[in-house]
Amino acid sequence: MFRDLADDLLAVLLPGRCPGCGARGEPVCDACAAALPEAPPGRAVPGVSWSVAAFAYEGVARELVARVKYRNERVAVRWLARQLAARLAICPAPFDAITWVPGSAQRCAARGVDHGALLARAVARECGATPTRLLRREPGPPQTGRLAVDRRAGPVLYATAHAAGRVVLVVDDVVTTGGTLAAAARALRAQGARDVIAATVARTPRPGCGSRPAAYTPGAV
């Protein structure tokens, strides 16, 4: 809480530069924010009944995710969380739990924080809810940088018994192959989750495909 207040004060006194045009803007100026391309359609992910993504993972959106992931910029976390929470307004069914996929031990140790947890907590605040840690990650490499064939298998995840009977929203930053979300859905459903939906900040366009207007696809992330 105190860290958030300090970041907000610094943003007012010393606003950063917009990653799109270089103008003063925290974390992005209004003009560049309005021009961010919507997420392209994605493939259906096994176990995920509905999903939404805010932006295409390119350009300014990619830089904003990097600021969260590698620089721990809380102002960017909260801005992205607001965008994602707004997209959740079209969710066809209510969810009663919000969780996230834990980062790898190596990444959390290197960064000193689990950025996935920060994002999920920020989204939960925007939704007036309380996040719950429902997933545990076994040791293994981060998904980032792996070959697509390896990414599709996803990390090894286990869910807690608190998932039983609940409709769970899984929040994540970027989806490329859907492997991480599929692994989360398998783990949650194995513990009796009634349904699994997903929300991601960005979706990677398929090779050779430009961004399209649709920001969501039923059953796809």
CA-wise closest residue to 125 among 154, 85, 71, 164: 85
6 within domain boundaries: no
C-beta separation of 180 from 48 below 8 A:
no
CA–CA separation, 221 and 206 (whole Å)? 12
Q: pTM for this one?
A: 0.83
185 within domain boundaries: yes
Pairing of strands 135-137, 157-159: antiparallel
81 within domain boundaries: yes
List, run by run, the mean pLDDT of 10-residue segments along the chain (221 residues).
47 66 89 95 93 96 91 90 95 94 84 91 96 90 55 81 96 93 96 97 79 42 44
- Residue 145: the pLDDT is 54
Partners of 172 in beta bridges: 200
Q: State residue 44 phi and psi, 5-degree precision.
A: -65, 140
Domain at 184, CATH number: 3.40.50.2020
29 within domain boundaries: no
Between the alpha carbon of residue 191 and those of residues 97, 162, 188, the distances in Å are 14, 8, 5
CA-only gyration radius of the chain, Å: 17
Q: How many domains is the chain partitioned into structurally? A: 1
CA–CA separation, 51 and 169 (whole Å)? 9
158 within domain boundaries: yes
- Residue 16: the pLDDT is 77
Residue 92, token pair as written in the block: 């066809």
Domain extent, residue 47, equals: 37-203
